[in-house]
Amino acid sequence: MKLFIGYASTEGQTQKIARHIADYLVDHGHSVELMALADAGPIALSRFDAAILGASVHVGHYQKVLSEFADTYADGLNAMPTMFLSVSLAAAGHDAEDWRALDTIISDVSDATGRTPGKVLQVAGAYTPSQYDVFRRFVMRRIIAAKDPEADLDWDKEYTDWEALDAETDGWLSQASI
């Protein structure tokens, strides 16, 4: 099957996740076109059998390019199986309030674009001080210190569970009969 994977990534973890899924799908015999949504340009989505979109949460929002893309291609996306990868640090924890906030962020995008993704996968992202400017480093150090006391605040830390990601992708593929 031929799949489109489009992602928006500010510090690089969603890009890494999208690439991982692309490699996984290719290894399992699928054909994949992977691109940053920001570079996507006009696309004939009807060339694809299914689509995966991914974006990361920053201060309670996904990158604007995600809703722009979902809005522009709503008809094409509604006509095929889709999976949305919501990448955040909230998904790395078990805080009920954080998870409710993730649901709200998804609802906001659905309301704005008039479409609901077939499957939503909440994916734990990464703490990447190597990618932050001074302000972001200050803010994120405080958040991680509170959420993950074991983290070394000077070093990048990946929370993404790659095996769970593969299993969820398999589940979506078989449920969507792809």
Ligand X SMILES: Cc1cc2nc3c(=O)[nH]c(=O)nc-3n(C[C@H](O)[C@H](O)[C@H](O)COP(=O)(O)O)c2cc1C
Residues forming the site for ligand X (CB under 6 A): 9-14, 56-60, 87-90, 125-126, 132, 136, 140
Q: Cα separation of 153 and 163, whole Å?
A: 25
Nearer to ligand X, 49 or 110 (CB): 110
Cα–Cα separations (whole angstroms), residue 47 to 43, 58, 82, 149: 9, 32, 14, 47
Nearer to ligand X, 79 or 139 (CB): 139
Query: Is the Cβ of residue 47 or residue 58 nearer to ligand X in the bound state?
Result: 58
Nearer to ligand X by Cβ, of 115 and 137: the residue is 137
Q: How far is the CB of 175 from ligand X (least distance, A)?
A: 26
Nearest distance from C-beta of residue 139 to ligand X, angstroms: 6
Classify residue 47 by burial, with Cβ atoms within 10 Å: 0-12, 13-18, 19+.
Answer: exposed
Alpha carbons 113 and 107: distance in angstroms, whole number:
10
Chain residue whose CB lies nearest ligand X? 125
The minimum distance between CB 44 and ligand X, in angstroms, equals 26
Q: Please give the DSSP secondary-structure letter assigned to residue 61.
A: B
Identity of the residue, 44 or 59, whose beta carbon is nearer to ligand X in the bound complex: 59
Q: What is the DSSP letter of 80?
A: S
63 φ/ψ angles, rounded to the nearest 5 degrees = -60, 140
CB 158, CB 126: distance < 8 Å: yes
Q: How far is the CB of 1 from ligand X (least distance, A)?
A: 26
Compute the least distance from the CB of residue 46 to ligand X, in Å: 28
